[in-house]
């Protein structure tokens, strides 16, 4: 039995997230069907993460076990030939038998995109959040640093169970600007449900003066979701990179 490590990218607009659901079209459902056809056997793919409806991925890893002798290049070409245009296989390689896309992952980087302009951009309608307010990068960058470190992020999680472990480590949180585009990049060992979108929404509330720039530590300490800001819209969010070694995670 071979174990393959596969990287893909997808535009999440037409999908109800990655994980298979009974009554909705998902990325996993579509990819499994195409991979099974190319390998000529039914397979289950194991994803590195769950993504919500409308969320995108620039780099998403899945592992799959197969008896097929297909070469990695043949896998890439064959599966890409079956997939719809909004999903693409980027790479394929042999992996150790114990490799698992989710459980072997050391960390992830998410990117949130804003289109900051009075006028909407028809070319980013479902790929970036349209934000009409004046954006203050220095204030947002300052506030974002309060997220860095190992902390309890219960206030930045939707529907966290009372007994759930909500402590996570954030390695970095950076704000980049290119014309009307703003990118927020957050890298960490793990993330709670809606955590990145709530962090971004809270920073937008800081940008608008609804929350003080130095108020995030108090929100973290409160462990109260009602103290944090809005949940930013899903279509601005991307799983940007996944890391499988400590060296990758700690670089940059």
Q: How far apart are CA 133 and CA 28, in angstroms?
A: 36
Q: How confident is the model at residue 250 (pLDDT cuts 50, 70, 90)?
A: confident
> What is the enclosing helix (H) or strand (E) of 181?
strand 181-188
Q: How far apart are CA 61 and CA 212, in angstroms?
A: 37
103: pLDDT strictly greater than 80: yes
What are the beta bridge partners of residue 8?
Answer: 60, 89
With b meaning 16 or more CB within 10 Å and e meaning fewer, what string describes 75-94?
Answer: bbebbbebbeeebebeebee
Is 181 within 8 Å of 116 (Cβ atoms)?
A: yes
Q: Which CATH class is domain 107-250?
A: alpha beta
pLDDT at 111: 98
Q: Where are the domains of the chain?
A: 2-94, 107-250
Question: Among residues of the chain, what percentage have pLDDT more than 90?
Answer: 92
- Does this chain's domain 2-94 share its CATH topology with 107-250? yes
User: pTM of the predicted model, to two decimals?
Assistant: 0.95
Q: Which residues are catalytic?
A: 52
22: pLDDT strictly greater than 90: no
pLDDT at 161: 83
pLDDT at 4: 98
| Integer CA distances (angstroms), 40 to 65, 101, 172, 219, in order | 13, 22, 43, 52
What CATH number belongs to 2-94? 3.30.70.580
Q: How confident is the model at residue 95 (pLDDT cuts 50, 70, 90)?
A: very high
150: pLDDT strictly greater than 90: yes
Give 6: exposed, middle or buried? Use CB within 10 Å, 0-12, 13-18, 19+: buried
pLDDT at 162: 78
Q: How confident is the model at residue 163 (pLDDT cuts 50, 70, 90)?
A: confident
User: What's the average model confidence in pLDDT over 45-49?
Assistant: 96
Give 114-143 pLDDT, tens digit per residue.
999 999 999 999 999 999 999 999 999 999
228: pLDDT strictly greater than 80: yes
Give 27-37 pLDDT, tens digit per residue.
999 999 999 99
Q: How confident is the model at residue 210 (pLDDT cuts 50, 70, 90)?
A: very high
């Amino acid at each position: 039995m071979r174990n393959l490590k596969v990287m893909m990218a997808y535009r999440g607009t037409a999908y109800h997230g990655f994980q298979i659901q009974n009554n909705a079209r998902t990325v996993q459902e579509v990819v499994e069907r195409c991979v099974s056809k190319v390998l000529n056997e039914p397979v289950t793919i194991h994803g590195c993460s769950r993504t919500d409806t409308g969320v995108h991925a620039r780099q998403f890893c899945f592992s799959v076990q197969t008896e097929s002798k297909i070469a990695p290049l043949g896998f890439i070409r064959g599966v890409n030939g079956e997939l719809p245009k909004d999903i693409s296989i980027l790479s394929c390689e042999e992996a150790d038998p114990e490799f698992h896309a989710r459980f072997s992952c050391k960390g992830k980087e998410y990117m949130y995109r804003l289109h900051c302009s009075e006028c909407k951009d028809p070319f980013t309608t479902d790929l970036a959040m349209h934000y009409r307010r004046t954006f203050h990068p220095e204030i947002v960058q300052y506030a974002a640093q309060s997220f860095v470190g190992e902390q309890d992020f219960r206030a930045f999680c939707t529907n966290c169970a009372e007994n759930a472990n909500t402590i996570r480590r954030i390695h970095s949180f950076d704000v980049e600007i290119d014309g009307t585009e703003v990118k927020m990049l957050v890298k960490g060992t793990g993330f709670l449900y809606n955590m990145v979108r709530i962090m971004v929404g809270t920073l937008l509330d800081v940008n608008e003066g609804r929350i003080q720039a130095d108020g995030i530590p108090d929100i973290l300490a409160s462990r109260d979701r009602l103290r944090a800001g809005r949940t930013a819209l899903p279509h601005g969010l991307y799983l940007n990179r996944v890391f499988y070694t400590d060296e990758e995670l700690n670089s940059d």
